[in-house]
Each structure stands twice: as C-alpha cells, then as structure tokens.
Amino acid sequence: MSDILEIAAAQAQARQPLRPAVAKAAELARNAEERARTKQHAKHKNTARERLDLLFDTGTFEEIGRFRGGNINDGNAGAAVITGFGEVYGRKVAVYAQDFSVKGGTLGAEEGRKICHLMDMALDLKIPIVAIVDSGGARIQEGVAALNQYGEIFRRTCRASGFVPQISLILGPCAGGAVYCPALTDFIIMTRENSNMFVTGPDVVKAATGETISMDELGGGEVHSTVSGVAHYLADGESDAIDYARTVLAYLPSNAGQKPPVYAYAPTRAERDVAKRLAGIVPDNDRQPYDMLDVIRCITDYGEFVQVHELFGASSIVGFACMEGKPVGIVANQPAVNAGILDVDASEKVARFVRLCDAFNLPIVTLVDTPGYKPGSDQEHAGIIRRGAKVIYAYANAQVPMITVTLRKAFGGAYIVMGSKSIGADMNFAWPNSQIAVLGAAGAVNIIHRHDLNKAKAAGQDVDALRAKYVDEYEKSTVNANLALELGAIDAMIDPEQTRESIVNSLKLLANKTHVRHTEKHHGNQPQ
C-alpha cells in the first residue's frame, strides 16, 4: 500500500512540481510573520494576521495581493497592509489590516493602492468594510505620493458611507491626516492601552504651544471615549475590541439594500414576568432618578442590549437589541444621569445613531423621559442650537419604522425632537402617569401665575399652598398626556407591562414600510 502512495505522490509531483519561487515565497511569508510576532508581542500587541484570525470565522479568510509591493527575490514580503475577505457569522466582510511590523505600518503609494482596490471590490460586492489601524501615518520618504493615497481612501470611504457598514479598529497609533480615515466610518473602536488618535502629536503640540502632554492624555482611547466622543467603544484589549466589532456586524445588514439579519427567538414564561417588572422600575416622584437600562432589558429579547457610545453623552443611551429576533436601534434618555437632559454631547450622540439606523434599515425605538434641553451659558456657547438641531434633522429625515414610548415626562423642545408624532414617528405610546407639556407644572405655574403669587405674598397669604393649588390644576388640565391623546400625538395609553407587546405589534405593522423620495434634491445640508 505504501508503494502505491509513493508512486501516486511521484506522479503528482511530476504533473505539478513545486517551483523554487513558490517555496521561497512561502518561506518568506513564514519568516515575515515570525518577525511580526517578535516585534508585536513585545509590545503586548497581536500581529495583523492574529487579529484577522480573531475577527473572522475560523478558516474563512481569503487574502488578496499577498506579495503586492514586495520583491520575493530580494526578500521583501510585500506592503505594510494586509487585504482580503472573510466571514463574520457566515456573512462576507472585507478587511484591511495595517502591519506595524513592516515599516511601522506606514502608508505609501502601494499600501494606498491595495486598500483602494479592496474598497472598490467591497463596494462592488456590497459588503461591510473593516479597517484594522496600526500605523505610523504617511510614509515620509514617499512624500506627496503617500498623501495622495489618503485622498483616494477618503473618497471611497465617503462613497461607501451609508451604503455598506464601515468599522475602524484602532489597535495602535493613528496620527495626522490618517485619523480622518476612521473618522469617516460608522464606528471607531479603541483600546485602553496602545490605542491613540490625534491630528498633531505631543511633540508638535509642545513645539507649537508649549504644552507638555502624553500620547494617552492627548488622544488615548479613554479620552476619545469619554471627552471627545470620537470613539464609540472603549475595549479592555484587542480581543474585546474585535469581539465588539463582530457583535455590531451581527445587527447590521451587509448593505443599505438589504434588511438586517433575523435570528431565531422562542418566547418563554419568563417573558411575562419580566414585563411585569416594568411597573416597579419608574418612581412615582418625577424628580427621582432610575436606570433606563433596567427598562431596556425588560423589553428586549433575553434582556440583551449592545450599547454604542456608552461613555459619552451619558444622559442619553443608544444601542442595538432584538425584538422577537429582529434587530432594532434603541434611543433613550437616561434619568440616572442629569435627569436625562439633552445637552450638546447627548444630542450629537442621538443624532448620529438615528442616522445610522436609518441608513441600514433598522427600526428605531425611542424611550422618552426628559425634562428638556440643558440650560446655561456653557451649553449655549458650546452650540446647543446647532448641535441640538442635528437630532431634529436625524428624526425628521428618517424613514425606517419609528416607535416612541413616553415613560414619565417629555417637556418642551425635547418632547418634539425625541421621536414625536409631529417629527415623523409612526406609532407613539405613553404610560398612564406620563407628563407631556411645554414646561413642568412647577415651572409653568411660576410663569403663568407670577402676578397672582406676588399679590398673595404681599397680602401675607400662604404662597406655597397657593402655588401647590395652581400646580395641581395645571397637572390635571395640561401636563398629563390626555391632551396629546386628544390631538392624536399619542396613539394609545399603555400600562408599563404592555410596552414590549406594543412595540412588537407596531414593528409587525410597519414591517413593509419603504423609503420615499419627497424631492429631487441631491442631499440635505445637515446642521454643522
């Protein structure tokens, strides 16, 4: 039997002998990865190929242009970027991963051409694009030739925006003009260590302004996740970052022309018990805080919720969940942080997420409990007008199914912008004790009955008792949701435990809602 196998092997080799060039290329690739491991592991970082192994389903990665830009005879393994395709939960995804072990991961003309070729293929195939960034920036030795490639990448990233999902994983340095590659994508994921983004580095900052600052203080993962809002997720390490990217992709379709994936869901007895918990989460006192995440976990499949921008604009919450196996985007106020008020950061956070959901056909579920926009000169000077207008622009232009539930209070402009019927929501519900008005009762009474209260004080009457009387009257006549019901701004008053059922039924009703082009304009001009 062994003789037969040896003869067969010899015949196979005779038909297609192993060419020395192929063997040399394979050896060159092995040596390059070994060098990469030595360099990257010393910095507690994975190699570009190890990162790809974490990103893709096992055995699905198909590389393109492996030796492009290299010289096999001279021992050059290729460009400082790896490009190819793989599968994430069985769906095809395009990726480019910068290899810091090769010329510091810098981008030269060949690297740029490889990335652009991959992006062109991804657009033709209509599949998501993931960028794994770990680079020293433009290759100085190549000058303007390298800079031109950034322009080519920017143009393709903009072309892909809203058409296919784009995710950037920042797993090393990203500086200078290179930061705008990830800035144009849908998600930026950074790690607590080794992850940096800045337009000008610490040395340039010191030379220009005299300020001494570290890389992490200037543009580390924590800064961009909590202060600037550049990063959408702060990971504990590379594995966590890549796992988050996989999770996000699981909720999104491959492109804007498809519906999101649908997952199996089997209701259980626990579902009804969980729904009953809603009645006890929100306090009767409208000034008492509670955690909106407790509400969200009671209405989503298995209580699962994937937050986006968790550490930024914390008075609002946005993220992904499923309702009977169908992905949705959830937008909510967070009463546990500044009473759920809308400020400049929360406004931009909400607006960007609503636009994302609308681009990729995810229904939007809005949970409202907010006293309004945050007052103060700091907010006015920070641009609450223009930045708050982004929420209006996002909701008013969204054409996916939109369901809104008012839990406790919705006052003033914040009521209008947070998925109200008048701004475009399809179905609006309110809990029995919810309050909807221009102002809260106490604030409204102080304005409407200012003269009456002053007269009572001058006459020596009990002003507090009189104010309480006016507040009670105002709440009965104006602040409760009855007026909104009568005007058709609320479709139904529901008990808290009916919340999930009402949302699910609404999603079924709106399942075939389609996008409609109302005008012949090229595009709108979003508030700056």
Residue 464's pLDDT band, with cuts at 50, 70 and 90, is confident
129 shares its domain with 163: yes
Residue 113: burial class (beta carbons within 10 Å; 0-12, 13-18, 19+): middle
Mean pLDDT of 424-443: 83
Q: Is 424 a catalytic residue?
A: no
416 shares its domain with 434: yes
Question: Does residue 79 have a pLDDT over 90?
Answer: no
Supply the pLDDT for residue 29.
Answer: 67
385 shares its domain with 448: no
Encode pLDDT of 145-157 as tens digits: 889 999 999 999 9
Token couple for 466: 């009189």
336 shares its domain with 322: yes
Supply the pLDDT for residue 72.
Answer: 67
228 shares its domain with 362: no
Question: Does residue 485 have a pLDDT over 90?
Answer: no
Residue 372 domain-assigned?
Answer: yes
Question: Which CATH number do you get for residue 234?
Answer: 3.90.226.10
Q: Is 104 a catalytic residue?
A: no
Least confident of 90-104, 162-176, 204-218, 433-447: 433-447
Q: Is 176 a catalytic residue?
A: yes
Residue 27's pLDDT band, with cuts at 50, 70 and 90, is low
Residue 261 domain-assigned?
Answer: no
Coil/strand/helix, residue 160: helix
186 shares its domain with 311: no
Interatomic CA distance for residues 140 and 143, integer angstroms: 5
Residue 318 domain-assigned?
Answer: yes
Question: Does residue 244 have a pLDDT over 90?
Answer: yes
Mean pLDDT of 164-173: 97
Residue 16 domain-assigned?
Answer: no
467 shares its domain with 419: no
Distances (CA, A) of 270 to 298, 303, 501: 10, 11, 14
Residue 228's CB is within 10 A of a number of other CB atoms, namely: 12
Given the residues 104, 177, 237, 412, select the one marked as catalytic.
177
230 shares its domain with 285: no
Encode pLDDT of 365-385 as tens digits: 999 999 988 889 999 999 999
Residue 150's CB is within 10 A of a number of other CB atoms, namely: 19
Given the residues 303, 383, 412, 413, select the one marked as catalytic.
413
Encode pLDDT of 95-113 as tens digits: 999 998 888 888 999 999 9
More confident site: 105 or 231: 231
Given the residues 79, 138, 414, 489, select the one marked as catalytic.
414
Question: Does residue 428 have a pLDDT over 70?
Answer: yes
53 shares its domain with 188: yes
Residue type for 221, please?
G
Residue 169 domain-assigned?
Answer: yes
Supply the pLDDT for residue 403.
Answer: 98
Given the residues 70, 84, 136, 176, select the one marked as catalytic.
176
Residue 484's pLDDT band, with cuts at 50, 70 and 90, is confident
Residue 34 domain-assigned?
Answer: yes
Residue 264 domain-assigned?
Answer: no
Interatomic CA distance for residues 492 and 505, integer angstroms: 13
Mean pLDDT of 229-244: 97
44 shares its domain with 156: yes
Q: Name the CA radius of gyration of the chain, rounded.
A: 28
Residue ranges making up the domain that contains 199: 21-251
Question: Does residue 267 have a pLDDT over 60?
Answer: yes
Q: Most distant CA pair in the chain: distance in Å?
A: 118
43 shares its domain with 157: yes
Mean pLDDT of 388-406: 96
Residue where one domain finishes, among candidates 223, 251, 279? 251
Residue 172 domain-assigned?
Answer: yes
Supply the pLDDT for residue 9.
Answer: 47
Question: What is the value of pTM for the model shown?
Answer: 0.90
Q: Is 481 a catalytic residue?
A: no
Supply the pLDDT for residue 399.
Answer: 96
* Of 216, 185, 367, residue with least CA distance to 281: 367
280 shares its domain with 215: no
Number of domains in the chain: 3
